[in-house]
Chains A and B, each alone.
Chain A
Amino acid sequence: MGVDANTLLRLTDLSVDFESHEGTVHAVDRVSFSVAPGELVGLVGESGCGKSVTANAILGLTRMVNNATISGAIDFLGRDLVTLPESEVRDIRGKDISMIFQDPVTSLNPVLSIERLMTEGLEVHLGLSHGDAIKRSIELLQLVGIPKAAGRIKDYPHQFSGGMRQRVMIAIALSCNPKLLLADEPTTALDVTIQAQILRLMKQLSREYHAAVVVITHDLGVVAGMCERILVMYAGRIAESGPAKALFGHPHHPYTVGLLRSVPRLNEPRKDSLQTIAGLPPDLAHLPPGCSFAPRCWLATEACWQQVPELFHTDAGRLSACFHRDKLIAGAEMPA
């Protein structure tokens, strides 16, 4: 597995299947992408598109699920996280790769003080003494903007507001100087004004620490202002990827076009009605044989129903999994 200096993480044909009563659920289906050191990547999609499962697989969390089958490779600095023994993954998890979860209310253990939550990783991964770990924790809390951090280290999560809890979580995630930070819907549970604070903080800290960040979200607006590169997922597969400005400016996949058209924007004139993507996302246990977006797509032809489109190279750094990408590149508009 060749990893050059410009690649921190490389996923190759990662698939995650879950056995269920309904049949096998193909949550992630042959997903490949890479992340460079310090890069800000947005992984966008609706619920059930496999974005969180992909993040959990990178962190080695899906291996703990009994009914999950993982295949493919997750190369992180020369080590394959799919086949690496759990004991070695444990050294990476929380240290080199850390995660910020969606809900700051349920993802911090309520019976542990902030001191315990913060110092655990520092002591286990960096081997600091408890005293040094507390000192470092206070510094980190100050860094993420918690006022009077020294006085609050003995407090419990319920004594913090939602935005402050998310800051504590970011402080914990950053405590061991990770090379890769996975942020799963980091601001979905927060208010607009707090969301702006947290996004700004994450971007700033990523620069300072040269940590790559993968932001997983359903909100196109969140990644537009923050990420350099965007990956759009649909029904377990990558539909489109590319640099943020190019992708938002001129999408090369009909699903991306539909997503962008169906949300009203503050910087555009009001419209009488919104354009919609017809129908529903597919059932992952019973995917259509061809392109999984074909049943909802306005460009779909016979070929789309029969064959799964591969990711085609369309432009500098851009990929699209659509047989009709040329029509979109040529400027085909979504019918109203």
Chain B
Amino acid sequence: MSAPSTNATQAAGDGRETLVRVEDLRVHFPITSGIVFRHKVGAVYAVDGIDLEIRRGETLGLVGESGCGKSTTGRAILQLIRPTTGRVLYEGGDLAHLKGGALRRQRRRMQMIFQDPYASLNSRMTVGDMVSEPLLVHKLADRAGRKVRVRELLETVGINPNTLNRYPHEFSGGQRQRIGIARALAVEPNFIVCDEPISALDVSIRAQIINLLQQLQREFGLTYLFIAHDLSVVRHISDRVAVMYLGRIVELAENAVLYEQPMHPYTQALLSAVPIPDPVAEERRRPVVLTGDVPSPVEPPSGCHFHTRCPAAREGLCDVEGPTLKEVRPGHWAACHLITLDDYPHIRAGEDDLAVVAEQGGEAAGEGGETA
């Protein structure tokens, strides 16, 4: 993938400084065999060379299908999974080499909100204990101070502070997710990795949590890495969006650019497959339906990982050489050989497709009131 030197330009777009920089991050999980003599027989290439910049105060959306390595990327940035190679720079300091107390001190600055609010809260701890534990670990307040702070945090996320002696099972999924958010906020972090924070919640509760995350970002100047598979939600919440496929970033751009002028064939297919809750719009769409399944990250395809499903793949090019992530337009990065070719056929179809959707967007908004 791209060399670290090209990375410097990724952030040059606007005045915001870089908070987190990921350079050539790789996470390979070994597959071992044998009981007495364990030996490595292969590897799952979960994350296979990623360069990313996350700017202070922004929300970077990270989307992709299951198994593409988006969650592993989030965890590797926080060093919850140690990267195989590569650097993760937080305010310029490399986290990948930190250990013990030094790493723990840095962790105060970055937190995580997990997907499953049923599994990520300790069922034997009260809500108060769970939210105050980070304060205790990082020695941020004495006993009395913690009590005050816990009530304040619960109030911030919309949980009645008088319920702090209750256990997680007494709360609904949405409330538990709020408690998870309060726990992440306890140490006053700058950077939060939100790993599918709403996908386990009910439809009518999701909007509440999204609004809460946005409100907290404004209030505390938080920076988010928002990992999700739901492209509509990512569009709503993100400033910039990165699309992953089989361990690599295939496209990265400003939100509006990525959704309106996607360049990579995979992004185009992904966007055209997102269901829209509007039968009129659905009827007029011409989706690019991909054939086949996502290949296994144990044996990723040669060359461009996407060539086995790509409707525009060229034999002798895409299956041989892996494309690098290049800046195609200012601030718009894509990893595809075909984009630079003059006779790139697929992007035309994609543009038509999106034109239809965009046009309907305007109509649907105007129609809303008069349809009976």
Contacts and interface: CB of A to CB of B under 8 A. Distances in A.
Interface in B192-240: 202-208, 210-211, 214-215, 229, 231-233, 235-236
Nearest to B233: A264
Contact of A273 (B214, B271, B272, B285): B214
Contacts of A315: 372
A225 B282 contact: yes
Contacts of A194: 65, 293
Interface string B6-49: 00000000000000000000000000000000000000000000
Given A224-B278, A331-B369, A274 B210 contact: yes
Contact of A248 (B277, B287, B365): B277
Interface string A217-235: 0111110110000000000
A23 interface: no
A263 B361 contact: no
A191 interface: yes
Contacts of B164: none
B360 A267 contact: yes
A159 interface: no
A82 B259 CA distance: 50
Contacts of B271: 266
Contact of B232 (A195, A200, A266): A266
User: Max chain B CB contacts within 10 Å: which of A246, A271, A280?
Assistant: A280
A46 B202 contact: yes
B211 A273 contact: yes
Interface string B328-372: 000000000000000000000000000001101100110111011
B279 interface: yes
A46 B205 CA distance: 10
B294 interface: yes
Nearest to A161: B293
A245 interface: yes
A262 B293 CA distance: 31
Interface string A259-275: 11011111111110111
Given A192-B229, A274-B211, A276-B208, A246 B372 contact: yes
Interface string A277-308: 10011000000000000001000000000000
Nearest to A47: B202
B273 to A, nearest CB: 4
B269 interface: yes
Interface residues of B, number: 56
Contact of B273 (A193, A262, A281): A193
Contact of B204 (A225, A262, A265): A262
Contact of B280 (A46, A163, A249, A281): A249
B274 interface: yes
A249 B283 CA distance: 13
A275 B208 CA distance: 8
Given A193-B65, A250-B371, A221 B206 contact: no
B203 A262 contact: yes
Interface in B291-328: 291, 293-294
Given A225-B275, A249-B280, A274-B210, A266 B293 contact: no
A277 B204 CA distance: 6
A260 B277 contact: yes
Nearest to B172: A280
A220 B207 CA distance: 14
24 contacts: A191-B65, A191-B66, A192-B273, A196-B272, A196-B290, A197-B290, A220-B203, A221-B277, A224-B275, A225-B275, A225-B276, A225-B282, A225-B283, A244-B279, A245-B280, A249-B279, A258-B204, A259-B204, A260-B277, A262-B204, A266-B235, A267-B360, A276-B207, A296-B204
Interface of A: 46-47, 161-164, 191-197, 199-200, 218-222, 224-225, 244-246, 248-250, 258-260, 262-271, 273-277, 280-281, 296, 315, 331
Interface of B: 65-66, 172, 174, 202-208, 210-211, 214-215, 229, 231-233, 235-236, 255, 259, 269-283, 285, 287, 289-291, 293-294, 357-358, 360-361, 364-365, 367-369, 371-372
The 3 A-B residue pairs whose C-beta atoms are closest, nearest first, are: A221-B275, A225-B282, A220-B277
Given A192-B270, A266-B259, A281-B202, 20 more contacts: A192-B274, A193-B65, A195-B275, A199-B275, A220-B277, A221-B277, A222-B275, A225-B282, A248-B279, A249-B367, A259-B203, A260-B277, A262-B203, A265-B232, A266-B274, A266-B357, A267-B281, A268-B361, A274-B211, A275-B207
